[in-house]
Amino acid sequence: MSPRCAVVGGGIIGLSIAWRLTQRGARVRVFDAGDHGAWYVAAGMLAAGNESTWESAALGRLLSASAKLWPDFAEELGVPLPGDGTLVVALTADDLAQAERDWARRRLTPTEVRRLEPALSPRVRAGCHITDDRQVDPRKVVEALRERVDVVPQRIDDLATVDADQVIVAAGTGTAALTGLPVRPVKGELLRLRGEPGLLRHVISGYADGRHVYLVPRADGEVIVGATQEERTDHAVTAGAVLDLLRAAIDLVPALADLEITETQVGHRPSTPDNAPLLGRLDDRTLVAAGHHRNGVLLAPITADLIAELVVTGEADPLLAPFEPGRFA
């Protein structure tokens, strides 16, 4: 008899798990509070190739494994997955020193960088091309997933009220209140600009006069400028964050000054004490998949596969071991 599963949280992680469980024959309902989760704000960089995102070797392995799953995941969902890689660039000597710490690859000269990305400022001193990174629009992914699973618009305050054989808690920052696990919100501010398509060919991760910014161009002319990272819980878009993001963005790509600002946004990354996700069983009935911090979009396919396997077969893949949810107890 296929298990009756409930997924609490219909963000990118919960929906991906529900979809894979449904494909494996489980009967699944997703309960979602209807708040915009971090997925709504996320830039959608799939940046497993950028060593700076690796906080541990085990997390690095998980990120790489998930990056490999993305082409098939996106194709099954019918969402585009552009992939000309990330150009990491630096303006000043200090920026270069900071950026180079992350560069395990060959450094590109200013001429080589501008040949790849002509819109970059002539002030760019050097760069590094991470060719295997891709990007995806998380809003399109969530929309496609919602068409494939049964979503009930309901906030869950007590897991005991959920009528199911197996309950998977994937409630982002809401996971702490439901489980007592240490998932905290890390505030991120981000801007969306709009202009003619084609200004940028790559995702740019840039260091500009001590500020770090990333620029994610979409095919329709949208450019995402992100993102701040602060231990705060408020939802304010602040003047200082907008100034810092735009100053760094326009220093790196001067033509961005002509684009229209279409959205200013705040999201909260669900983060843990070691900034690695919590993945696994809490008890015979309850599992958790939360705390994906800066990489929840990238980690959605591997999380979905590993958690679906655990629910359906009872087998825990060895990749899960370092992310045991009880590790902070």
Ligand X SMILES: Cc1cc2nc3c(=O)[nH]c(=O)nc-3n(C[C@H](O)[C@H](O)[C@H](O)COP(=O)(O)OP(=O)(O)OC[C@H]3O[C@@H](n4cnc5c(N)ncnc54)[C@H](O)[C@@H]3O)c2cc1C
In the range 209-248, which residues lie near ligand X by CB under 6 A?
226-227
Q: What does the buried/exposed string (b/e) look like for 214-251 if buried means 16 or more CB atoms within 10 Å of the residue's CB? A: bbbbbeeebbbbbbbeeebeeeeebeebbebbbebbbb
Which H or E element spans position 59? helix 57-77
Q: Does position 307 bind ligand X by CB under 6 A?
A: no
Instruction: Tell me, residue by residue from 138 to 177, as one string, x for binding to ligand X by CB under 6 A and - for no binding.
Output: -----------------xx-------------xxx-x---
Q: Does position 39 bind ligand X by CB under 6 A?
A: yes
Name the residue among 301, 302, 293 with its Cα closest to residue 53: 293
Q: What does the block give as tokens for 199?
A: 């200004």
What would the DSSP string read from start to end of 115-127? Answer: HH-TTS-TT--EE
Minimum distance of ligand X from residue 11's CB (angstroms): 2
Minimum distance of ligand X from residue 291's CB (angstroms): 8
Instruction: Supply the Cα-derived Rg of the chain in whole angstroms.
Output: 20
Minimum distance of ligand X from residue 192's CB (angstroms): 11
Minimum distance of ligand X from residue 30's CB (angstroms): 9
Q: What does the block give as tokens for 135?
A: 């990007």
State the Cα–Cα distance between residues 218 and 317, nearest whole angstrom: 35
End-to-end CA, the chain: 34
Q: Does position 206 bind ligand X by CB under 6 A?
A: no
Output 12 or 108, the one with its CB closest to ligand X: 12
Q: Does position 119 bind ligand X by CB under 6 A?
A: no
Minimum distance of ligand X from residue 16's CB (angstroms): 8
The distance from CA 303 to its chain's CA centroid, rounded to whole angstroms, is 12
Among 49, 270, 280, 301, binds ligand X (CB under 6 A): 270
Output 32 or 117, the one with its CB closest to ligand X: 32
In the range 73-112, which residues lie near ligand X by CB under 6 A?
none
Among 202, 249, 294, 306, binds ligand X (CB under 6 A): 294
The answer to whether 267 touches 42, Cβ cutoff 8 Å, is yes
Q: Which residues contact 318 (CB under 8 A, 6 or more apart)?
A: none
Give the number of other Cβ atoms within 10 Å of residue 30's Cβ. 28
Q: What does the block give as tokens for 80?
A: 């585009």
Q: Does position 13 bind ligand X by CB under 6 A?
A: yes
Tell me the number of residues near ligand X by CB under 6 A. 43
Output 96 or 278, the one with its CB closest to ligand X: 278
Instruction: Tell me, residue by residue from 17 to 36, as one string, x for binding to ligand X by CB under 6 A and - for no binding.
Output: --------------xxxxx-
Q: Does position 45 bind ligand X by CB under 6 A?
A: yes
Q: Does position 190 bind ligand X by CB under 6 A?
A: yes
State the Cα–Cα distance between residues 77 and 261, nearest whole angstrom: 29
**Interface residue list for ligand X (CB under 6 A):** 8-14, 31-35, 37-39, 41-45, 155-156, 170-172, 174, 178, 188, 190, 226-227, 267-270, 290, 292-298
